[in-house]
Amino acid sequence: MRLFLVFIYLFVISFTLSFCDSKVNPKTNLISLPMKTIDGNTVRLTDFKNKVVVLDFWATWCEPCVKAVPVLNQWKASLSADEFVFLGINTDEGTELAKIKEDLKILKMNYPTILDPDWKLSENYDVDGIPTLLVFNRKGELVYRQSGLIASDLPGLLLRSKVWMLCDDCAMQK
């Protein structure tokens, strides 16, 4: 069994590293657009350069988004806060802030939430549906995109996380 796990680990690393020489479209870099968090603070994604940044685009009414939160919580809990930043990007249009905050408490989301009701951030990254997951390397370049997230995705994401920490030159995986 241990040999099988080593084989899987090496396969994922070699597959991921095969994309390290690719060039990234400038549109896929972290942007400095000022955005409001659910708590009213202003942040820019570029504030998190030198860390791997995970963006979770979601909405309160989206059942697959809600089901993905425990998976993301578990993924985040297994990683170093010194190396990774997780941000929820809430795309609810016309939903009261109090309702979003209430839903966040119920969901027990363990990462900060940025409000994107007009989809400006979503449109910048060509997010046309939710849930969508984007991962940026420490240079601020998009290295991973996934639509939807289920519990069985977690082992692969954990392995990729190790590569993303090591490979600053990795480009977008297709």
CATH number of the domain residue 84 falls in = 3.40.30.10
Q: What DSSP string describes the chain? A: -HHHHHHHHHHHHHHHHTTTT----GGGB-----EEBTTS-EE-GGGGTTSEEEEEEE-TT-HHHHHHHHHHHHHHHTS-TTTEEEEEEE--SS--HHHHHHHHHHHT--S-EEE-TT-HHHHHTT--SSSEEEEE-TTSBEEEEEE---GGGHHHHHHHHHHHHH-TT-----
- Tell whether the model's pLDDT for residue 143 goes beyond 80: yes
Give the separation between CA 79 and CA 62, rounded to whole angstroms. 26
pLDDT digits (tens, 9 = 90+) for 5-27: 444 554 444 444 444 333 434 45
In this model, does residue 88 exceed pLDDT 90? yes
Q: Does the residue 172 lie in any domain?
A: no
Q: Is the pLDDT reported for residue 80 higher than 80?
A: yes
pLDDT score at 49: 82
- Let me know if residue 69 belongs to a domain: yes
Least confident of 3-12, 24-33, 84-93, 95-104: 3-12
What's the total number of domains in the chain?
Answer: 1
Whether the CB-CB separation of 76 and 109 falls below 8 Å is answered with no
Indicate the range of 13-17, 110-114, 130-134, 170-174 predicted with least confidence: 13-17
Tokens of 103: 């839903």
Q: How is residue 109 written in tokens? A: 């989301």
Q: Is residue 53 part of a domain?
A: yes
pLDDT tens-digit profile of 25-54? 445 788 888 899 999 999 998 998 889 999
User: What does pTM read for this prediction?
Assistant: 0.79
User: Does position 79 have pLDDT exceeding 50, yes or no?
Assistant: yes
User: Which of the pair, 173 or 134, is modelled with greater confidence?
Assistant: 134
In a domain, 173, yes or no: no
86 versus 30: the higher-pLDDT residue is 86
Position 105 in a domain: yes
What is the predicted pLDDT for the residue at 6?
A: 45
- pLDDT for 100 equals 92
Higher confidence at residue 110 or residue 21?
110
Mean pLDDT of 85-98: 93
Residue 103 located in a structural domain: yes
Residue at 107 is within a domain = yes
pLDDT the model gives residue 24: 39
Range(s) of the domain holding residue 144: 2-21+30-166
